[in-house]
Amino acid sequence: MSSRFFTADEQRQIVSAIESAEANCSGEIRVHIDRRCPGNVLDAAADVFASLGMQKTALRNGVLFYVAVDDRKFAVIGDCGINSKVPDGFWNDVKAVVTAEFSAGRYVDGLTKGIILCGEQLKAYFPHSEDDIDELPNEITYGNK
Ligand code: CA
Ligand code: CA
């Protein structure tokens, strides 16, 4: 799909939320938008995670917000570095914030709020360091599905 799902301004808001979140923690956050996701949303998110090379962070602390807009599906997944440190249900608050906004049709608010919350929550496990590197681009990616 084209990047026209979001306006230029909306894209900037989302990218800016990623920058803010990454200023709070060492986690690397990305957003991917598909139109369709006929199968399992967690499988689709894991495929995108791998195809974007998101497992290539030093601390294995990449986070992907995956949205299939036409099928109204959403998933947030983290790499193994995160899953080995955080308690079960770690993503529930983030998911709740995002899906509440999405159900009202507010995609930008859902993503920006979820991303900021993600940064705040990850801070305790992956603090930001002064020599932090932006390991993964903050730009939104769009799938062909
Ligand atoms: Ca970083
Ligand atoms: Ca980044």
The enclosing domain of 100 has a CATH number of: 3.10.310.50
Identify the band that residue 2 occupies on the pLDDT scale cut at 50, 70 and 90: low
Distance 34 CA to ligand 1 centre (A): 25
Distance CA 120, CA 112 (A): 12
In the block, which residue shows the tokens 């906004």? 101
How many domains are there within the chain? Answer: 1
Residues in the chain, total: 145
Residue 1 has pLDDT above 60, yes or no: no
Q: Which domain range does residue 13 map to?
A: 3-142
Cα–Cα–Cα angle for 127, 132, 133, rounded to 5 degrees: 135
Task: Give the Å distance between the CA of 137 and the centre of ligand 2.
Answer: 5
Indicate yes or no: pTM above 0.85: yes
> DSSP letter at 29?
E
* Residues β-bridged to residue 73: 68
Cα(129)–Cα(131) distance, rounded to whole angstroms? 5
Structure tokens at 18: 């990623």
pLDDT of 101 reads 97
CA distance 25 to 71: 31
The ligand with the least distance to the CA atom of 27 is 1
Helical spans, DSSP H, in the chain: 8-22, 41-51, 80-83, 92-103, 107-122
> Which residues, by Cβ under 5 Å, contact ligand 2, an ion?
28, 134, 136, 138
98 CA distance to ligand 2 middle (Å): 20
Q: SS3 of 111, please?
A: helix
